[in-house]
Chains A and B, each alone.
Chain A
Amino acid sequence: MQHHTTCPYCGVGCGVTATIEDGVMTGVEGDRDHPANYGRLCVKGSALHETLGDHGRLLAPRVDGREVSWDDALAEVTNRLAAVRERHGGEAIAGYLSGQLLTEDYYAANKLFKGFLGSPHLDTNSRLCMASAVAGYKRAFGADAVPCNYEDLEEAELVVLVGSNLAWNHPVLFQRLRTAKQRNSLLRVVVIDPRVTDTCEVADLYLPLKPGSDARLFNGLLAFMADKDKLDAVYLERHTQGLDDALAAARDEATTLAGISGDCELDAEALETFYYWFASQLHVVTLYSQGVNQSTSGTDKCNAIINCHLAGGKLGLPGAGPFSITGQPNAMGGREVGGLANQLAAHMDYHTPGAQALVTEFWHAPHLPEGPGLKAVELFEAIERGDIQALWIMATNPVVSLPDADQAKRALAKCPLVIVSECMADTDTLAYADIVLPASSWAEKDGTVTNSERRISRQRGMLPPPGEARHDWWIITQVAKHLGYEEAFEYCHPRDIFVEHARLSGYANRADGVPRLFDISALAELDHAAYDALAPLQWPVTAEVPRGTARLFEDGCFATPDGRARLVAVTPHAPRQAVSAAHPLRLNSGRVRDQWHTMTRTGRAPRLLNHRAEPYVDLHPDDARAAGVADGALARLHNAHGEARVRARVATAQRRGEAFMPIHWNAQFSNAGRVGTLFAAHTDPVSGQPETKHGAVALAPLAIAEEATLLVASDSGGLSERASLAYWARMPLHHAERWQLASDAGASSHDWPTWCAEQFGVAATLWCEDATSGRLRAAGLRDGRLVWWLMVGPPSELPGLAWLDARFGDIALDAEQRRRVLAGCASGEADTGPVVCSCHQVGATSIREAIRGGDTDVDALGARLACGTQCGSCIPELKSLLEEEVAHAGTDEALETA
């Protein structure tokens, strides 16, 4: 049976058609009718069904390490939260949510924390992702409103990608862009990124700018437009204010091309080309992402971009606009319900006139906080200080994802009450939980998400949650009820929450003052069937526009008191984390193509780990050489905040002096692969978004004695003794787990086979050794079944592991497989059958083939295969093979004629 749902990975929000057979998801494909992707899927989306299954799932609630019933767990949550509130007040309670939650979950959590627990401290990991984009939009448009849609990318004449590796992070949008470019030879693409990424493949112009210099670049563009008389004076006059200040700020520094190209470290001619293209085209989309947002001046950078669009009148029409692309599937949903600490609800902030009264009235809320709460980084600092006494984390892994990630560990260790709602059994964050609540996951959850183009899509529950796992909205609702708020949380289904959310969006909207752009009041009357059948549509969805709104601000009216958009004066600032002699490398971070966040799901699909199997750092050859780090070797990055141990990848795609590390690896997959430990917790003063694109680190080779690769049968219990290793990284395969290991240089020599024998209770059954070169391979078999496989030596010498992985799935190896097991691959040669001629090692199969090919006597066989030409002892066997084959041929002929 087929179900239409939405992909849970990036912010593109692709429609997925999933096939369920006998309670198992057997396949997924792109939903041809979904406007986000029209049938396309990227590699992560295509592997969704491979990441499911009950193994590794959290299946029961736990309190203080003991499994308990839901009744007991809910009672504990309620009692402990109530006790904290009793003693310290609602302000001592905090929630930390995730763009992975559905809008209904988000809404219920926001309502509980802000409306009923009286805590303003409800923030989300979206803070790490697009808070600056939100703040930028709000400063410019008066509302957190993405003006564009995906079709604008296809209708543009110029697409500028800033701080976005679209090819890896939003692959389906990248495909749409590439297709559009093939169809329209006039469409030009500019890529602005310090790193050469796969996205550059579509670039007509690539600007490898100096990290952190984006605001300078766009200030320069604004000045260029003014100088070249490319401002849209009419648009500016009718629909904006603030040009003069913005332009003055832009001109505060030298605006000569030479000055800007020097500051941004760009080629002046390339810079002028970009400026000229931007200034002279109307249909320009500037698409920006974390490369802009994750900065201590991220909001300013967003506004520097938006300024240029406003100044040129390049928005509110097809193929134009400043377009922020979100990282998470439902970051937008979280923004819509108000699930960030600076927001109240439904696009209302604490300072929005009348908002407190409106929300209090709508919710019948007893305890609305008076002002904004703490944003993510501040929140964890407050937790460590002891200001926050209880924290409820849902669907996120802050120990991995926050900057100064070891601070997050300290904070959680200190917090008296940590509640974690989670779907996986092992995450770095769960180690700090007092109460663990098993949550449902993608294929089980039912509700809505909003993608980067404001499109609300249904995510549909297709499979029952395993064990005792429950939906997040249900868990929140139950806690609310236990706390005595039955009336306000009388939800039996996500639809009940959604319609309330829709109703709030229209509640007293447009009554007076500034209308709230987020209005989906036309959906407030959906019944169950209509909710179930809800087709993807873009907000606003109101009585006037019941089919939704493709593009905002087409009328030039903005959500500000005077209806005008604001150009914001931007003064460029250098990143807070500066490189120094001790920490000379700039550290950048980001996603890899085939992984998602902290790998709790994507780490389960072997083919997704094939792409980048280990935590790594990208380095420029000069920096690697200077530090004595070879390509493919293990390296150590460190600074005052922490350290990472990762594989070095050396290429000129990286600018000199800069390093890049992926964000995904964590303690479940490696011993020191968390990039978050290396960033200081500096944040943007407006958005609170941390500066996780610009750390400062030192690079050194990791001191190791030997590298080894270990494959262990999946059911062998894993590798328990690994504390003594200098490095390890784990990679699940289909039938085995791969462990990449390195022994410590300081430790006494490591007897790997003996170590394996002790770990898995099976001694080396076969082994090979090249002692002078330090190479060794060994395997342990139990009753002919492969239990472990070891290679000591550089991983560059590994065979492809698919064949070995499959052998771990075999009940027992046959003799030929066993002979190949240390080689790790099937023989490159066709099986020639049992040896007949020993002198020349000619097998029976080869001989039979030669006979069928027309060699009818021993001499002919000898001439072709050399069999029987030396000692001749196989000639009798050759003769009998000849006789057999001739007899066979006779039978075949007889059969054919019969």
Chain B
Amino acid sequence: MSANDEHLVIVGNGMAGHRLLERVLAHPHRPRHITILGDEPETAYNRILLSPWLAGEMDRSALTLRERDWYTAQGVTLIAGERVTAIDRQARTLTTDQQRRLGYDQLVLATGSQAARPGVPGDDLDGIHTFRDLRDGERLARLADTGGRAVVLGGGLLGLEAAEGLRKRGMTVSVVHRGPHLMNRQLDATAAGMLADELRARGLDVITGARLAHYGAGDDGRHVANVALEDGTTLATDGVVEAIGIVPHIDLAKTLDLATGRGIQVDAYLSTHDPRISALGECCEFEGTTYGLIEPIWRQVEVLAARLCGDTPAPYRELPCATKLKVSGISLYAFGPITPAPEHDVLTYHDPQQGDYRRLLLRDGRLEGAVLYGDTAAGPWYFQCALAGQDLSAGRQALLFGEHDAQPLLDTPDTLSEEAA
């Protein structure tokens, strides 16, 4: 095994930073010196599991991706609990809030994102939380332990996971969603309606099409006690979780005079215009797109890891991606447009009692979008078909039933079987 002598520094020990580290370490030409910095005190953990952990479905230990001794064994320097405060591009050094100084040959910014704030009166009150990291999770767990009421703002993936987690821990929870139906960026009204019905049946209070007006304080004037909506409704609460979206974390990058839009702008090899500095994950922006789902970020990791190890990888490109949700017992799978265009052929499957729903959008025999609720087994195959742009006309009659029903029809050559004379 040969190695290069460069020093790779990864700023950010979240999902993206850690995945990059794992991929680089797996490469035969890994940089000899690697340092990874994170502002959280722990080793890397799986942020996606915060929701099930909050819901009490798994132990804290299950979240840990790697223990400290692993870093040592891999020859990686882990600096946890320190925040990078300054970078000198000319000197190729960085400084942390502990006044630690480090040189780098290659620097990767994987600083992630932060929760978007609604910006309404009262948003500085105590008891208003976000749900991004372990600290947030611990605070929410403590809130839940008091029983009582909670309001979750945002009926997207994260908001619903947080709401379910709190409900399972014993709280009475309202979800306040601005869109016309839950997860309106991923689901059509039918699937969202089924989801809302299921969540309501579990005891969640789901309010859609609702705009937040302001937060109200309790008697102490410090702690949030109610959430007022624009239609005049007031929801009494003991705490609030804001899950209305994310904002790329680019404060550091801005100090470096790197090009930024909503995120740190990168090219198809995840490089900023400073060839020594790369960015990936939720903090970066590529061709105007920023990121919140894991799938494209993992592909970014592959490109960047290869480049940092001296390979010439295929450039990163934007691909459609599918949304999956598994809030214990609820399965969703969706990709593509939500609203059918007039030229779309719409195929639907309904079993409301069992809670199964599928809707496929085809254009000229090609699958462009799918929403699956309940039975999502066929989701990945649909997604593959859509990516491949395959003409599915021959299997259309069985398309709603999945690969094993449709594939034989697609495989049959489209010739009339003349009956043997």
Is there an interface contact between B49 and A876, defined as CB atoms closer than 8 Å?
yes
Which of A27-35, A38-46, A657-665, A867-875 lines the interface with chain B? A867-875
CA distance A770 to B402 in the complex (A): 15
Is there an interface contact between B294 and A768, defined as CB atoms closer than 8 Å?
no
Could you write out 9 A-B pairs with CB less than 8 Å apart? A766-B352, A769-B348, A773-B396, A819-B356, A822-B400, A828-B404, A840-B380, A871-B294, A872-B49
Check A751 for interface membership: any CB of B closer than 8 A: no
A838 partner residues in chain B, CB cutoff 8 A:
324, 326, 331, 333, 376
| B344 → chain A closest CB, angstroms | 9
A766 and B350 contact, Cβ closer than 8 Å, known pairs A651-B421, A825-B405, A838-B326: yes
Output the nearest chain A residue to B298 by Cβ-Cβ distance: A870
Which residues 768-782 in A have Cβ within 8 Å of B in the complex? 768-773, 775
A823 partner residues in chain B, CB cutoff 8 A:
398, 401, 405
Is there an interface contact between A872 and B46, defined as CB atoms closer than 8 Å?
yes
Give the secondary structure class of B's interface. Answer: mixed
Check A69 for interface membership: any CB of B closer than 8 A: no
Which residues 134-174 in B have Cβ within 8 Å of A in the complex? none
B295 partner residues in chain A, CB cutoff 8 A:
870
CA distance A846 to B222 in the complex (A): 54
A766 partner residues in chain B, CB cutoff 8 A:
349-354, 356
A825 partner residues in chain B, CB cutoff 8 A:
405
CA distance A870 to B297 in the complex (A): 10
Check A891 for interface membership: any CB of B closer than 8 A: no
Check A196 for interface membership: any CB of B closer than 8 A: yes
CA distance A827 to B378 in the complex (A): 12
A772 and B405 contact, Cβ closer than 8 Å, known pairs A651-B419, A835-B331, A870-B298: no
Which residues 386-435 in A have Cβ within 8 Å of B in the complex? none
Q: Which of A652, A767, A825, A873 has the most CB of B within 10 A?
A: A873
Check B52 for interface membership: any CB of A closer than 8 A: yes
Is there an interface contact between A793 and B350, defined as CB atoms closer than 8 Å?
no
Which residues 390-418 in B have Cβ within 8 Å of A in the complex? 396-398, 400-405, 408, 418
Total residue contacts A-B, CB cutoff 8 A: 102
Is there an interface contact between B52 and A829, defined as CB atoms closer than 8 Å?
no
CA distance A767 to B352 in the complex (A): 9
Check A841 for interface membership: any CB of B closer than 8 A: yes
Check B379 for interface membership: any CB of A closer than 8 A: yes
CA distance A819 to B376 in the complex (A): 11
Known: A768-B358, A839-B324. 4 other contacts (CB 8 A): A766-B351, A770-B397, A823-B405, A828-B405
Is there an interface contact between B397 and A775, defined as CB atoms closer than 8 Å?
yes
| B58 → chain A closest CB, angstroms | 6
B403 partner residues in chain A, CB cutoff 8 A:
829
Is there an interface contact between A765 and B353, defined as CB atoms closer than 8 Å?
yes
B65 partner residues in chain A, CB cutoff 8 A:
872
Question: Which chain A residues have a beta carbon within 8 Å of chain B's beta carbons?
Answer: 196, 631, 649-653, 765-773, 775, 793, 797, 815, 818-820, 822-823, 825, 827-829, 835, 838-841, 870-873, 875-876
| A769 → chain B closest CB, angstroms | 5
| A881 → chain B closest CB, angstroms | 14
CA distance A809 to B289 in the complex (A): 55
CA distance A793 to B347 in the complex (A): 14
A773 partner residues in chain B, CB cutoff 8 A:
345, 396
CA distance A838 to B383 in the complex (A): 13
| A756 → chain B closest CB, angstroms | 15
Which residues 351-390 in B have Cβ within 8 Å of A in the complex? 351-354, 356, 358, 375-377, 379-380
- The 8 A-B pairs with the shortest beta carbon distances in the complex, nearest first, are A828-B404, A766-B351, A823-B401, A768-B349, A876-B62, A651-B419, A652-B421, A772-B345
Is there an interface contact between B404 and A770, defined as CB atoms closer than 8 Å?
no
Is there an interface contact between B421 and A815, defined as CB atoms closer than 8 Å?
no
| A733 → chain B closest CB, angstroms | 21
Check B3 for interface membership: any CB of A closer than 8 A: no
A767 partner residues in chain B, CB cutoff 8 A:
349-350
B376 partner residues in chain A, CB cutoff 8 A:
835, 838, 841
A827 partner residues in chain B, CB cutoff 8 A:
402, 404-405
Is there an interface contact between B401 and A835, defined as CB atoms closer than 8 Å?
no
Output the nearest chain B residue to A874 by Cβ-Cβ distance: B326
A819 partner residues in chain B, CB cutoff 8 A:
351, 354, 356, 375
Check B346 for interface membership: any CB of A closer than 8 A: yes
Check B259 for interface membership: any CB of A closer than 8 A: no
A871 partner residues in chain B, CB cutoff 8 A:
48, 294, 324
Output the nearest chain B residue to A650 by Cβ-Cβ distance: B419
Is there an interface contact between A770 and B354, defined as CB atoms closer than 8 Å?
no
B352 partner residues in chain A, CB cutoff 8 A:
766
| A408 → chain B closest CB, angstroms | 34
Output the nearest chain A residue to B294 by Cβ-Cβ distance: A871
| B46 → chain A closest CB, angstroms | 5
| B20 → chain A closest CB, angstroms | 14
B418 partner residues in chain A, CB cutoff 8 A:
651
Is there an interface contact between A771 and B349, defined as CB atoms closer than 8 Å?
no
| A839 → chain B closest CB, angstroms | 6
| A897 → chain B closest CB, angstroms | 34
CA distance A769 to B298 in the complex (A): 36
B324 partner residues in chain A, CB cutoff 8 A:
838-839, 871
A839 partner residues in chain B, CB cutoff 8 A:
324, 380
B401 partner residues in chain A, CB cutoff 8 A:
820, 822-823
Which residues 298-313 in B have Cβ within 8 Å of A in the complex? 298
Is there an interface contact between A872 and B404, defined as CB atoms closer than 8 Å?
no
Q: Which of A196, A631, A766, A771 has the most CB of B within 10 A?
A: A766
| B159 → chain A closest CB, angstroms | 18
Is there an interface contact between B419 and A770, defined as CB atoms closer than 8 Å?
no
CA distance A765 to B352 in the complex (A): 8
Output the nearest chain B residue to A652 by Cβ-Cβ distance: B421
CA distance A770 to B365 in the complex (A): 12
Is there an interface contact between B294 and A870, defined as CB atoms closer than 8 Å?
yes
Is there an interface contact between B48 and A873, defined as CB atoms closer than 8 Å?
yes
CA distance A793 to B400 in the complex (A): 15
Output the nearest chain B residue to A654 by Cβ-Cβ distance: B421
A873 and B380 contact, Cβ closer than 8 Å, known pairs A818-B354, A823-B401: no
CA distance A827 to B333 in the complex (A): 20
CA distance A771 to B58 in the complex (A): 44
Q: Mark B272-304, 1 if CB is under 8 A from A, else 0.
A: 000000000000000000000011001000000
| A298 → chain B closest CB, angstroms | 29
Q: Which of B347, B354, B356, B401 has the most CB of A within 10 A?
A: B401
| A175 → chain B closest CB, angstroms | 21
